[in-house]
Structure 1
Amino acid sequence: MRRVAFLIRFALVVAASSGIETALGDPIYVDQGRDWTTAERTDFYKRDQGSRLINLAWLQALKGRDGQPFLSDGMSRYGFLPNPGNTANLPVGFHTTGSGGSQIVGVTCSACHTRQVEVDGKAYRIDGGPAFIDFQAFLSDLDKAVGDATASEAAFAAFAAAVLQSATPTAADVDKLRQRVDAWYRRFHTFVAGTLPAVGWGLGRLDAIGIIFNRISGTDVGPPPDFLIPENMKIGDAPVRYPFLWNSPMQNQTDWAGFVLNGNRVFALARNTGQALAFGNFEPRRSFGPFFNYANSINFDGLKRLEELLLKMGPPKWPSDWPIDSKLAKDGQKIFERQCSKGCHEKKEVRALRDLFVTTWVTPVQNVGTDTRQFDELGWRVKTGALKGAGIPLIARHLEEEDYAVHMMFSAVAGAILDNKLYLGSDVGSGDGFGSSLPPNAQKAPSTSLSLSPAPVKASIAPPSSAQPPNQPESLTIEPGTLLERTLNRGEYEARVLEGIWAAAPYLHNGSVATLAELLVPPAKRMSQFKVGAKYDIKNVGLDVTQEGPTRPVTDCNDLNSGNSRCGHDYGTRLSDDEKKALLEYLKTL
């Protein structure tokens, strides 16, 4: 574990020199359409969606690995971007809710979907783009910081003095605070130990499916006082690159595997509710008979506003001070229409799934030979705990005592939305964040209930072979017997409309190919590793592989289930060099 901690720390130090931070001065905001104004951007950076992570006073009192205040650099060491409008030194994508000493810090989607790249010593900001952040290091360090603060009476005394803003707080106040912090830490530490892999996800990637599944099934549906089912949590070893957001409302389906229906307001709300549950409070309980209460902290007004913002966010336009050959781009357009558009990346409008009054773009879901690891998580089976028997006729099937985590997610999302629509008064308070909304005394557990020592590592991102794990089906039927029923096949992922694709490197769903030029190379000849960071290569369209920064090793087609395979999408690889140059030039214009 010490070696892992050292490697993570070393990666952070290297990442700090990769152009992520703002030493370049104020960024140049890339043109994303006339509807995307400064007001819209400011709102996007701080909009409360219902995430409740940790008490602000606690976060301000914590120390980082270097002994400095956790917020001393605005968390830029993880790649988060400064937000000048935030008075608490929180970066883009973090907000506070509440007042006084009860303010709670939450995470919004802009934390992971705001990108900044560097070209010729200038920084360019791309809203809705995949961020260059190390979210795993952030979670790991936050866990360690709270663990250090509670490791001894002396350490906690210093922490309590800072939180309570008193050099000599009363013993009663310190004891009360200790109960609250211990309750939060039991849950958060169990989640971190059960979710984070030994080998980090790295800059610009996150296992969102693993996080959401572990939150819902592992931290929210167990027995009191902590509501944990630790054995439900599995190591999140299928990281993917953050998707870009600027045309997400127009997709017919979303998520890399295309298993989330999209296109109308209800489906959009469900899409956003799922991501809000990742760090929100969720307290489902059977109310009476077959009925359930899906109490939660989700800010549905905030989610509605978020969708309005996404509808205004246009794809980023290639900056005017970057060179582009218009004539060559026109030649590339013909190649694109012949090689890439039909059946895959064309902007083809259709009536939205299950809604004849909405038009969306087709997003085909198909297997093009890319990494299969994420499908393993869609096959996770868990104990359903407090959600046993939950379900909504025609929408979410009733859950068995043991069921698929993906079905639990659909039940949680559908139930939370239904509670909100029916005004059942199921909102829960913030508490101290991370699901600890109940009064501290109600969560106080015996000291023997859970060991706070780090859990043994269960897996790494790269398993020893590409063999399919045992008991993993080749296909999975989602929500059988309901109006939302559909089948997922192993290795199938969605093909999106490519507007703004120049700004979304690295490529493939797992971020295993550094540039668009490299994507046009046969899979067997693609780079086996490359540098990750904010410096951009506008010639090859993607990451500058020569920059200083952490290295991302990737596997070939012999290890297709590693989570890091660069295999697949063998399209355009047989074009001539001149044709490839023309195609790349056209992709810059999208």
Structure 2
Amino acid sequence: MKDKRFDFKALSKATAVAALMAAPWSADATVTTFPQGWSASDKTQFYSLDQGSELMPLNWMVALKQADGRPFMADSLSRYGYLPNEASVQHLPIGFTVAHAGDQGQMLGMTCAACHTRQIEVKDSTYRIDGGPAIVDFQSFAADLDTAVGVVVNDDKAFAEFSLTVLGPDADQVEQLQLKADVAAWYQRYHTLMDRALPKDKPWGPSRLDAVSMIFNRLTGLDIGTSANHIIPENIYRADAPVRYPFLWNAPIQDMTQWPGFADNGNNILGLARNLGEVYGVFGSFYPKKSSWRLLGVDYLHKNSADFNGLDNAESLIRKLQPPKWPWAVDKDLAAAGKKVFDLPNDQGGCVGCHGITKGKTRFLLQQTWATPILDVGTDTREYAVLARTVNTGVLVGAKIPALTPPLQQTDTAFNVLGLSVIGAILQHYESVAVTPAVQAHLTKDVTKVEGLLNHIEADISPFTPMTADLKGAFHQSAPQATAAAAPSYAYESRVLQGIWATAPYLHNGSVQSLADLLKPATDRTAAFAIGPEYDPVNVGLASKQTKFGYTLQTTDCSHRDSGDSRCGHEFGIQLSDSDKKALLEYLKTL
């Protein structure tokens, strides 16, 4: 008999369409878009480009219910801030895709567009900013999904309704029992992650996400365990260092990346490393296993769902993306005066020393980058505690990249586990280790001989080719740790400011409401402000009144620099006169 467990076609067409289209997004407001270097087809591709994420089978998501009984997909997830994708035939939002087909059939996944597409609102006008930091509430989405599946697992009536939608009315008991087991297994993994990781007392709120913690937690907590379910619960830490989503334009041309600046950047192979880590964090499947027949000693592509072609295509699209242009009138004389302020030395209140366009490192094939200074300017330090976290390395204990990393210890940093998992998978994908005739001559079924041979030759063989050599800097082993010195440095990247007007809230942790606030001493900055899409063109940032989420971010001062929510630091320009500050803001609008 045909297995209908994950057959989307087995759904009643009326049921599926009703679930996906119930309370669809509002089309009342006209959305203004910007000429950012993308064609219409580029936009469509970016909004739903498959990168290998496997959140859950699509027909499960269609069948899930909210607490009030409405379909989980009602309003196409706009209640969390996700944006309508007019090209999606399933009415899924931007950044959600069904292109990936996993072991369980047609899968729903997420892409980088979900977190890097923004809309702002001024009066009755709405503006779409491609590549902008999304104003979405990912924590609420993740928590509500956990609750919805938990109801199906623990309530017989809810499961019966769920089963009817997924399997149809003709399913037999065997099929129903198998579906229940599959959902329970999915829920065990997902609930373990969400229950241990999501902060209970201080939610991230819209526009912020502790991305590094969640990548570490998902990878080390759900993928590398030695048990049948691969789970290592104790590797999952509370994700308490939220940051704002970065903007994507000019991201590929930086010579360093990640907020703490631990990663080299600037060409496609380093972009792949950056994006592969993202896929591991947004529900990509990754179950590495030891393999004595591979020179790296591990099969990093064993059940690895990452779509390398999709990731390459995404990077190519991002390279074409340009910053948005300020859509309202600019006082040209005032902006010209502001440029003079911008070009002042840092100690006089200028910006160019850290944020001007200067040449950075030259990457493979003579690709010229922009310098991205990594500086400690007194901002929140919490992310460095995340980088120092240690985990049980599970199936990866002892694994290493020849000529680059030492073997992983049984207890090692999550940072080292992620670096090994990303670099190892890319090297294996490109088959950059050539098996020589000498090695082939010894490839017998005697595993002991093979292991001995590899141990003997690994010191003399590098798995890197000229194309992949830059991966050696993708995860700096010397990444500064908060506990590494008596006076540690908590440095973060300083980016070129093109399009900065469209990226509020500010600082790496999103703790400052506007650029006007950023030019004030930390003690004078707004301590609590609402998060949402309403925009303030005067202060260049988030408007004080928001109606979308009902969430207010409560920040801390410099006495709590490790809170994750500190508005401390970056006190540049605070000595400028009010007229110079006004001129500087006018100039920043033009970038």
Q: TM-score, normalised by structure 2?
A: 0.83
Query: What is the alpha-carbon distance in structure 1 between the residues aligned to residue 224 and residue 240 of structure 2?
Result: 23
Equivalent in the alignment of 1:288: 292
2:184 match: secondary structure:
helix
State percent identity of aligned pairs: 47
Deviation of the 1:183 alpha carbon: 1.0
Equivalent in the alignment of 2:394: 385
- One of 332, 340, 362 as aligned partner of 2:338: 332
1:126 match: secondary structure:
strand
1:240 aligns with 2:243: yes
Deviation of the 1:215 alpha carbon: 1.0
Alignment of structure 1 residues 97-246 onto 2, 5 Å: 97-98=99-100, 102-166=105-169, 168-198=170-200, 199-246=202-249
1:70 match: secondary structure:
coil
Alignment of structure 1 residues 3-18 onto 2, 5 Å: none
Alignment of structure 1 residues 172-571 onto 2, 5 Å: 172-198=174-200, 199-278=202-281, 279-288=283-292, 291-294=297-300, 295=302, 296-319=304-327, 322-338=328-344, 339-352=349-362, 355=364, 357-422=366-431, 484-488=476-480, 490-548=489-547, 549-571=550-572
Which has the bigger relative contact order, CA under 8 A and spacing at least 6?
1
Determine if contact 1:345/1:498 at 8 Å carries over to the other structure. yes
What whole-Å deviation, never above 9, does each CA across 1:32-90 have from its counterpart, x for those lacking one?
A: 1xx31111111110001111110000000000122100011100000000111112221
Unaligned runs of 5+ in 1: 1-20, 425-478
Call closer, same or farther: CA 1:481–1:314 in 2, change over 3 Å.
closer
Equivalent in the alignment of 1:46: 48
Query: What is the alpha-carbon distance in structure 2 between the residues aligned to residue 381 and residue 149 of structure 1?
Result: 34
Call closer, same or farther: CA 1:396–1:44 in 2, change over 3 Å.
farther
Deviation of the 1:340 alpha carbon: 3.5
Which structure is higher in helix share? 2
1:392 match: secondary structure:
coil
**Counterpart amino acid of residue 54 in structure 1:** M
Query: What is the alpha-carbon distance in structure 2 between the residues aligned to residue 359 and residue 481 of structure 1?
Result: 16
Deviation of the 1:264 alpha carbon: 1.8
Q: Comparing 60-69 with 371-380, which one deviates more in the overlay?
A: 60-69
Deviation of the 1:25 alpha carbon: 1.8
**Counterpart amino acid of residue 184 in structure 1:** W
Call closer, same or farther: CA 1:39–1:254 in 2, change over 3 Å.
same
Deviation of the 1:242 alpha carbon: 0.2
Q: Comparing 485-494 with 217-226, which one deviates more in the overlay?
A: 485-494
**Counterpart amino acid of residue 517 in structure 2:** E
Determine if contact 1:281/1:298 at 8 Å carries over to the other structure. yes
Determine if contact 2:265/2:474 at 8 Å carries over to the other structure. no
Determine if contact 1:554/1:565 at 8 Å carries over to the other structure. yes
Q: TM-score, normalised by structure 1?
A: 0.84
**Counterpart amino acid of residue 325 in structure 2:** K
**Counterpart amino acid of residue 316 in structure 1:** P
Call closer, same or farther: CA 1:61–1:423 in 2, change over 3 Å.
farther
1:74 match: secondary structure:
helix
Query: What is the alpha-carbon distance in structure 1 between the residues aligned to residue 361 and residue 381 of structure 2?
Result: 30
Query: What is the alpha-carbon distance in structure 1 between the residues aligned to residue 432 and residue 151 of structure 2?
Result: 42
What whole-Å deviation, never above 9, does each CA across 1:514-558 have from its counterpart, x for those lacking one?
A: 000000111111111011110100011000012334211101111
Q: Comparing 388-397 with 114-123, which one deviates more in the overlay?
A: 388-397
Deviation of the 1:224 alpha carbon: 2.6
Query: What is the alpha-carbon distance in structure 1 between the residues aligned to residue 68 and residue 425 of structure 2?
Result: 41
Call closer, same or farther: CA 1:242–1:78 in 2, change over 3 Å.
same
Equivalent in the alignment of 2:587: 586
Query: What is the alpha-carbon distance in structure 1 between the residues aligned to residue 85 and residue 253 of structure 2?
Result: 28
Call closer, same or farther: CA 1:74–1:345 in 2, change over 3 Å.
same
Equivalent in the alignment of 1:437: none
Deviation of the 1:483 alpha carbon: 9.7
Query: What is the alpha-carbon distance in structure 2 between the residues aligned to residue 143 and residue 587 of structure 1?
Result: 42
Determine if contact 2:264/2:475 at 8 Å carries over to the other structure. no
Q: Comparing 486-495 with 102-111, which one deviates more in the overlay?
A: 486-495
Query: What is the alpha-carbon distance in structure 2 between the residues aligned to residue 364 and residue 407 of structure 1?
Result: 23
Number of residue pairs matched?
510
What whole-Å deviation, never above 9, does each CA across 1:166-222 have from its counterpart, x for those lacking one?
A: 2x5211110111111111111101011111000210000001001100011100011
What whole-Å deviation, never above 9, does each CA across 1:425-463 have from its counterpart, x for those lacking one?
A: xxxxxxxxxxxxxxxxxxxxxxxxxxxxxxxxxxxxxxx
What whole-Å deviation, never above 9, does each CA across 1:548-582 have from its counterpart, x for those lacking one?
A: 34211101111111100001000001110100000
2:97 match: secondary structure:
strand
Equivalent in the alignment of 2:15: none
Call closer, same or farther: CA 1:328–1:241 in 2, change over 3 Å.
same
Query: What is the alpha-carbon distance in structure 1 between the residues aligned to residue 473 and residue 39 of structure 2?
Result: 44
Deviation of the 1:484 alpha carbon: 4.9
Query: What is the alpha-carbon distance in structure 2 between the residues aligned to residue 582 and residue 22 of structure 1?
Result: 38
Call closer, same or farther: CA 1:185–1:247 in 2, change over 3 Å.
same
Query: What is the alpha-carbon distance in structure 1 between the residues aligned to residue 179 and residue 111 of structure 2?
Result: 27
Call closer, same or farther: CA 1:140–1:356 in 2, change over 3 Å.
same
Query: What is the alpha-carbon distance in structure 2 between the residues aligned to residue 135 and residue 234 of structure 1?
Result: 18
Unaligned runs of 5+ in 2: 1-24, 434-470, 481-487
Q: Comparing 541-550 with 272-281, which one deviates more in the overlay?
A: 541-550
Equivalent in the alignment of 2:34: 30
